[in-house]
């Protein structure tokens, strides 16, 4: 597995990592704990060294199994986790997604101690603010994380779904290594303002949902339905006429995959890797077969001309529907 630098402070990760949320939250059915652990360990053996979790995923359960699974490989892998929710007063929306932000210094310190314990480690490699807290100045957050870095509890830090100006303010206080946001062939908002800022500051980028929450794998059709427990059942992009329209991009990805004699998921991930040299992607899956398929994206190459042609084609494919329910969308790009 090829590695890439995230930021200029020394953090290097496999260019295809693994988003671990779906093992316990949002995308049922869920494997049992033993199967989760086997899958993560098989991912390490396959070459993945970058794993993403958060304290809020299933209220600590995700971190707990990630910590157990990766403990034997601790010095050979990079673990990213997140703070930023008031876990003592957490509440959920109608889709069981967390609400209730808190990045107060005392909450960050409480969060880091809990994550260190659950992850069975003495340091967090990459520590993200999960969502920007409008009630706490980002400078205060950055200063608090900077203290944790000096104490050796955190190695590098980052922001998730933050706006360009917030990134600048945070970086001025404590240099960032990465910003994480949704990014894929069907969601390209980060390109407009965020990417130029990251390039200027020398900050890396981590793409979550790089397969469009599964749509770009080609597994779903225009009439696909999602169970009430599946987060996609509440996402406008996956509903009714929106989904039928959005199959245009799926058809295009399948066309590209056929031309490369490979799987649609590999094409979608390879496209991301081709956009900037300081990007990594963390597709989520619960299957070691899919993990191995995703890793294969590292071997797909596009010429500059092919990338220009693909990007031009994507500009003419309109995607209908928001990527989140309204209450979740309101928490992003602050």
165-197 residue pLDDT tens: 999 999 999 999 999 999 999 999 999 999 999
In terms of residues, how long is the chain? 334
Distance CA 5, CA 59 (A): 31
How many Cβ atoms are within 10 Å of 173's Cβ, its own excluded?
17
138's tokens: 């980002």
**Model confidence over 22-56: pLDDT tens digits?**
999 999 999 999 999 999 999 999 999 999 999 99
Query: What is the share, in percent, of the chain residues with pLDDT greater than 90?
Result: 92
Q: Is 183 marked active-site? A: no
User: Which pLDDT value is given to residue 329?
Assistant: 81
Please determine, for residue 230, whether its predicted confidence score (pLDDT) is greater than 80.
yes
CA nearest 76: which of 50, 54, 95?
50
- Span 85-102, average pLDDT: 74
Alpha-carbon torsion 83, 144, 125, 192, what sign? positive
Q: Can you name the residues that pair with 156 across neighbouring β-strands?
A: 126
Q: Where are the alpha helices (DSSP H) in the chain?
A: 33-46, 61-70, 105-118, 138-150, 164-173, 194-201, 240-260, 264-275, 288-295, 304-315, 326-329
User: In terms of Cα–Cα distance, which of 230, 235, 206, 232 is closest to 81?
Assistant: 206
Sign for the pseudo-dihedral over CA of 271, 272, 276, 280: negative
Kindly report the CA angle at 79 between 11 and 174, in degrees rounded to 5? Answer: 50
Options 27, 30, 57, 128, the catalytic residue: 57
Query: What is the homologous superfamily of the domain 3-214+266-302 according to CATH?
Result: NADP-dependent oxidoreductase domain (3.20.20.100)
Instruction: Give the whole-angstrom CA distance, residue 24 versus residue 51.
Output: 15
């Amino acid at each position: 597995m090829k590695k890439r630098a995230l930021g200029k402070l020394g953090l290097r990760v496999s260019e295809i990592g693994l988003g671990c949320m779906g093992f316990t939250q949002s995308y049922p059915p869920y494997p049992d704990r033993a199967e989760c652990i086997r899958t993560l360990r098989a991912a390490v053996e396959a070459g993945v060294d970058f794993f993403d979790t958060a304290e809020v995923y299933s209220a600590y359960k995700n971190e707990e199994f990630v910590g157990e699974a990766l403990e034997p490989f601790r010095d050979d892998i990079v673990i990213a986790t997140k703070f930023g929710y008031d876990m003592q007063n957490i509440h959920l929306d109608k889709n069981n997604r967390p609400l209730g932000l808190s990045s107060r210094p005392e909450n960050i310190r409480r969060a880091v101690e809990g994550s260190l314990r659950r992850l069975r480690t003495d340091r967090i490699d990459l520590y993200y603010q999960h969502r920007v807290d409008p009630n706490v100045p980002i400078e205060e957050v950055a200063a608090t994380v900077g203290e944790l870095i000096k104490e050796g509890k955190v190695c590098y830090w980052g922001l998730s779904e933050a706006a360009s100006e917030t990134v600048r303010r945070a970086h001025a206080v404590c240099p960032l290594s990465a910003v994480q946001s949704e990014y894929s062939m069907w969601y390209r908002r980060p390109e407009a303002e965020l990417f130029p800022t990251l390039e200027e500051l020398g900050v890396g980028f981590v793409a979550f949902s790089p397969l469009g929450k599964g749509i770009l794998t080609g597994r779903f059709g225009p009439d696909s339905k999602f169970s009430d427990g599946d987060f996609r059942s509440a996402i406008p992009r996956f509903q009714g006429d929106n989904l039928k329209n959005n199959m245009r991009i799926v058809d295009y990805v399948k066309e590209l995959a056929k031309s490369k004699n490979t799987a649609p998921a590999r094409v979608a991930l390879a496209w991301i890797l081709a956009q900037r040299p300081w990007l990594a992607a963390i597709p989520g899956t619960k299957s070691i077969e899919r993990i191995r398929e995703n890793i294969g994206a590292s071997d797909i190459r596009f010429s500059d001309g092919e990338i220009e042609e693909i990007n031009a084609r994507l500009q003419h494919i309109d995607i209908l529907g928001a990527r989140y329910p309204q209450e979740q969308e309101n928490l992003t790009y602050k």
